Amino acid sequence: MRELLGEYRRQRRLGLEGNIYHKTQVELAYNSNHIEGSRLTEEQTRQIFETRTVDGPARVQDVQDATNHFRLFDAMLKTADDPLTVELLLEFHRMLKEGTDQAASDPIFAPGVFKTLPNEVGGVITILPEDAPERLAALIATYEAGPRRFEDIADFHYRFERIHPFQDGNGRIGRMVMFRECLRSDVMPFIVGDAMKQFYYRGLANYEDEPGWLLDTCRSFQDDFVARFLLLVPHIGA
């Protein structure tokens, strides 16, 4: 997938519509934000990306989240050759949450900082705030020392979400990092689809007992990516 990373970067520079860069930006932002409660339609998300305007009713926060997600994707492409670090994830979080109403409402939601209050995911209490920086650093060190196969990327995602290092935005950061690490590690990338989120959540919830549920769900997302995205770059998909 190193060739695909280069194609993403090339198409971003060209600034044309209807290519894999354009399609990925829209669908990744739409699905990842929709999983977290955005009410934008896919068409509205596309319009924001193309024109920075939106037709129809839309919450200001949802528009800001989509815009930030587009910037985050570009930052992900720019840094996709670099090792994963705590500092990079903090910068990703800053970009995702900067300028949002939530970030302005309370210091606990400040962009680019670790959580200060306990949080949970799927009803499961995550790592305590005081332990999150050390646990995240240890997770990254273990991951960087390994082979970074498909299974390792999915495992990292599960363990990142169990740490839940930020007060908000963990799911979107985690899914962006999965996409990045696939590109970096010569693994087929994928988009976690909102329509299949119940299977994705089930895979995360049961990962310790049955990791195959999450792995199989992510493989189905890979199949979808091959069928719908690589046709835009047939010289890579061949």
Rg, C-alpha atoms of the chain: 17
To the question of whether residue 237 is assigned a binding role by annotation, the answer is: no
- 238 residues of the chain, pLDDT tens digit each: 689 999 999 999 999 888 999 999 999 999 999 999 999 999 999 999 999 999 999 999 999 999 999 999 999 999 999 999 999 999 999 999 999 998 988 999 999 999 999 998 877 889 999 999 999 999 999 999 999 999 999 999 999 999 999 999 999 999 999 999 999 999 999 999 999 999 999 999 999 999 999 999 999 999 999 999 998 997 775 5
Annotated binding residue at 168? Answer: yes
What is the CB-side half-sphere exposure of residue 143 using CA atoms within 13 A? 27
Catalytic residue among 22, 69, 157, 164: 164
Distance CA 150, CA 220 (A): 13
- Report the CATH number that the domain containing residue 227 is assigned in CATH: 1.10.3290.10
How many domains does the structure of the chain reveal? 1
What is the model's pLDDT at position 237?
A: 54
Count the Cβ atoms, other than its own, within 10 Å of residue 164: 24
Which residues, other chains included, contact 30 with Cβ-Cβ below 8 Å and sequence gap of 6+?
Answer: 38, 40, 41, 42, 45, 46, 66, 194
Q: Report, in this order, helix, strand and coil percent for the chain, each rounded to 5.
A: 65, 0, 30
Q: What is the pTM of this model?
A: 0.96
pLDDT of residue 2: 81
CA–CA dist 12, 16 (Å, integer): 8
Tokens of 173: 């950061």
Question: Binding site annotation covers 143?
Answer: no
Cβ–Cβ < 8 Å for 45, 62: no
Measured between alpha carbons, how far is residue 234 from residues 7, 48, 156, 226 in Å? 12, 28, 30, 10
Say whether 164 is catalytic. yes
Amino acid at 19: N
Range of the domain at 233: 2-237
Tell the residue number behind the tokens 């390792």, with chain if given: 152
Flag whether 15 is marked binding: no
201 is an annotated ligand-binding site residue: yes
Q: What are phi and psi of 207, to 5 degrees?
A: -60, -45
Rounded Cα gap, residues 124 and 135, in angstroms: 17
Cα–Cα distance, 98 to 193 (Å, whole number): 25
